[in-house]
Amino acid sequence: MKRVIQNYLAVAPSTLKKVQTSGVASSLLQRMSFCTTSRIMNNDNNTTITPQQQYERFRQTIKPLKKKEAYKQFIEVENTKVEDISLTNLKLPMPLKKKRRVGRGTGSGRGKTCGRGRGGLYSRNGINLPVGFEGGQTPLWRRVPKYGFRNGKFKLNYQEVNLEQIQFLIDSGRIDISQGATITMRTLKEAGLIKNPKYPGIKLLAKGKEFLRSKIDIEVPRASKEAIKAIESVGGSVRSIYYNKKSIQVMLNFEKFIQQKGHLLSDEEKSNPQLIYKKYMGLPPPKLLSFYMEEANRGYLAPFAKASSFEFYNDEQKQQ
């Protein structure tokens, strides 16, 4: 290849086309053809550069730098342009925090509205939409036809108390019947059997009647016929008394009532709470009146019903 180039440099420009080369030499001759067709001036000394000198300069420019020379050139020249490392310019090539992706389902926490919330009524403070509101259109509970009647709103829910529970409290000493005291709802609350019974009160049931062996006198709003029979079989007595909401509240919280209304009560009423219960008790409603007038239920109005010449019937008795 060197010989081909030397021959090329010795040939005149007019005979350049006659030189026959091949491979790499032909491409190199085509790139160096400008050296013989014109004069190249040196900028420093204003002298003409010969083709041989141009070839040597060409070889130096296209020759790749070795690793050591490239590193030395970086240290001496390019490294001077790099700023000093400090906390102000120290950063990673890629951020550690990932980009937040929104609108990828409600499970991501930033789904439908992408964390921007809702507009209109739902962006205001103090929104209070009723249950079943459907944006102004007729809601479902109004579109569906209704028929029939349900009496669940007027249902009386009694708290159940069993005979075995009362006998256990007597055996454990939490209820004292040695002096023949009458058991009431207040007594059962003080013993821890009931907490705060609501209207209409409790109902005495006959569960565990085989364990009952104590003679008791009890006053409850309602008792089953089996419970009445079991208590009277051991020599006790049952009395069904109606208590309204006010009388139940006074009975279960008598001390608080004395603090609030004590200045309006006499000394006899303060010493005998039964007088206050009867004062606020009143008559039962018409649906319960017949129950408390029957002797089989041991109603407290049964003696008055016997003495009266009037007969009281409920709706079921009239139909029969």
Vertex 40, ends 38 and 43: CA angle to 5°? 160
- Same domain for 36 and 169, yes or no, is no
- Same domain for 43 and 180, yes or no, is no
- Same domain for 304 and 187, yes or no, is yes
Matching residue, tokens 């019903």: 305
Tokens coding 252: 């279960």
More confident residue, 14 or 261: 261
Segment 215-242 shows an average pLDDT of 94
- Same domain for 47 and 179, yes or no, is no
Residue-level pLDDT at 50: 74
**Residue 256's CATH number:** 3.100.10.10
Contact 248, 185 (CB under 8 A): yes
pLDDT band at residue 274 using 50, 70 and 90 as cut-offs: confident
Residue at 23 is within a domain: yes
Q: Give the model confidence (pLDDT) of 169-222 as tens digits.
A: 999 999 998 888 899 999 999 999 998 888 999 999 999 999 999 999 999 999
Nearest to 242 by CA among 273, 275, 202: 202
More confident residue, 78 or 70: 70
Segment 225-230 shows an average pLDDT of 95
Query: Where among 56, 79, 98 does a domain terminate?
Result: 56
Residue 35 has pLDDT above 60, yes or no: no
Q: How far is CA 184 from CA 145, 203, 219, 274, in A?
A: 48, 12, 5, 10
Residue-level pLDDT at 40: 46
> E strand or H helix at 13, and its extent?
none
Residue at 91 is within a domain: no
Residue-level pLDDT at 320: 52
Residue 279 has pLDDT above 90, yes or no: no
Q: Give the model confidence (pLDDT) of 134-162 as tens digits.
A: 989 999 999 999 998 888 888 899 999 99
Please, what sign has the CA dihedral across residues 16, 17, 21, 23? Answer: positive
| Rounded-to-integer distance, Cα 274 and Cα 201, Å | 17
Supply the range of the domain harboring residue 7. 2-56
Please, what sign has the CA dihedral across residues 45, 47, 48, 53? Answer: negative
Residue 75 has pLDDT above 90, yes or no: no
Residue at 14 is within a domain: yes
| Rounded-to-integer distance, Cα 167 and Cα 129, Å | 53
Residue-level pLDDT at 213: 92
Give me the number of domains the chain comprises. Answer: 2
Residue-level pLDDT at 283: 86
Residue 24 has pLDDT above 50, yes or no: no
Q: What is the DSSP string of 101-149?
A: --SS-GGGSS-TTTTS---GGGGSTT--PPTT--TTSPPHHHHS---S-
Matching residue, tokens 């040597």: 56
pLDDT band at residue 105 using 50, 70 and 90 as cut-offs: very high
Residue at 150 is within a domain: no
- Same domain for 184 and 52, yes or no, is no
pLDDT band at residue 13 using 50, 70 and 90 as cut-offs: very low
Residue 230 has pLDDT above 90, yes or no: yes
pLDDT band at residue 59 using 50, 70 and 90 as cut-offs: low
Residue-level pLDDT at 9: 46
- Same domain for 27 and 172, yes or no, is no
Residue-level pLDDT at 86: 78
Lowest mean pLDDT among 47-51, 96-100, 297-301: 47-51
- Same domain for 164 and 307, yes or no, is yes
Residue-level pLDDT at 4: 44
Lowest mean pLDDT among 14-28, 94-108, 192-206: 14-28
